[in-house]
Amino acid sequence: MSDEAIDKLIKAGRIAKTVREEAARIVKPGMKLYDLAEHVEKRIKELGGEPAFPTNLSINEVAAHYTPLIGDKLTVPDNAVIKIDIGVHVDGYIADTATTVSFNPVYESLLEATRKALESALAILKPGIRAKDIGYVIESTIERYGYKPIKNLTGHSIDRYIIHSGKSIPNFNDIFSRWKLEDGVYAIEPFATNGVGLVKEGDIATIYSIRKKRGRLTIYEKKLFDRIWSERRTLPFCERWYKDLFSSVDGLRNTIKMLERHGVLISYPILIERGGGVVAQFEHTIIISNDEVIVTTL
């Protein structure tokens, strides 16, 4: 990995850390999710980065993949547990980080279990460690607190302009995950719950990405496709970012639906804990390079 790449990864991580901590300070019950997401993404840009994906603001049993819609009226409920998952890129070099804030003291031990699982995983990291060994530490830490890791959510490898680049880091002792972490970029992200430890897809999707290949498109579909491709390539996006292209929200949403039908667009439904359990998440991004481990978002 070049020095330039490492410098950009570290810059992205520094921005992500700053914005993550700001978001955790300002979030409060009654706050609109739309306002929080817009604040996060504005601050990322002010600090010299770009969002690597739309800000995920997932409440209680929703584990991931909710970002506010245009005109979204949803607010942070009283006694909520909210996950704030933030991605930053600098010239395509990505930092992925998350924190959880609880407004209900009942769930403080759930947050502590998840936070400690991440800390314990980071403590054992070294070049050549097997992915399953990271999962073992995460699972055993969470279980000591009486909770369950979410087994079908994982950490992941990261490449330039690609958030999930093909390798998964389990949150449990998966005996099949025997591959070793060598030079590269990875996100470690434990999820813990008081539910059954699995997620399912919900009925709505608010985050999308574009496929490179496309068929014949209408003028409106081409306009949206070309704008997204020029700005995002295959990085995820949301409708909030393209409201200026259309005279109506319905026009934008219908065009997104048509791109999805044509196989040009991928949607990412919200993920919900199958047993209705509350979910907590903490995440850091690491670089392994030249026998060194750098946590870019810490």
DSSP state of 77: P
CA–CA separation, 88 and 97 (whole Å): 9
164 is annotated as an active-site residue: yes
In the beta sheet, which residues pair with residue 208?
Answer: 237, 267
C-alpha 50/C-alpha 232 separation (Å) is 10
Catalytic-residue membership of 119 = no
- Rounded CA Rg of the chain: 19
- Which residue in the list 85, 139, 221, 273 is annotated as catalytic? 85
Between the alpha carbon of residue 20 and those of residues 85, 87, 157, 160, 243, the distances in Å are 8, 10, 21, 21, 25
Determine the Cα angle at 156 with ends 154 and 161, to 5°.
Answer: 135
**Is 85 a catalytic site residue?**
yes
89 catalytically annotated: no
Does 189 participate in catalysis according to the annotation? Answer: yes
50, 139, 273, 283: the catalytic one is 283
Q: Of 41, 50, 139, 156, which one is the catalytic site residue?
A: 156
> Is there a catalytic annotation at residue 35?
no
Pick the catalytic residue from 96, 139, 174, 221. 96
Task: Single out the residue of 202, 165, 207 nearest to residue 187, CA to CA.
Answer: 165
Of the listed 189, 221, 239, 273, which one is catalytic?
A: 189
Q: Per the residue annotation, which of 39, 119, 164, 260 is the catalytic one?
A: 164
Residues in the chain: 298
Residue listed under structure tokens 């008081």 = 194
In the block, residue with structure tokens 């409440």: 59
The residues that are catalytic are 85, 96, 156, 164, 189, 283
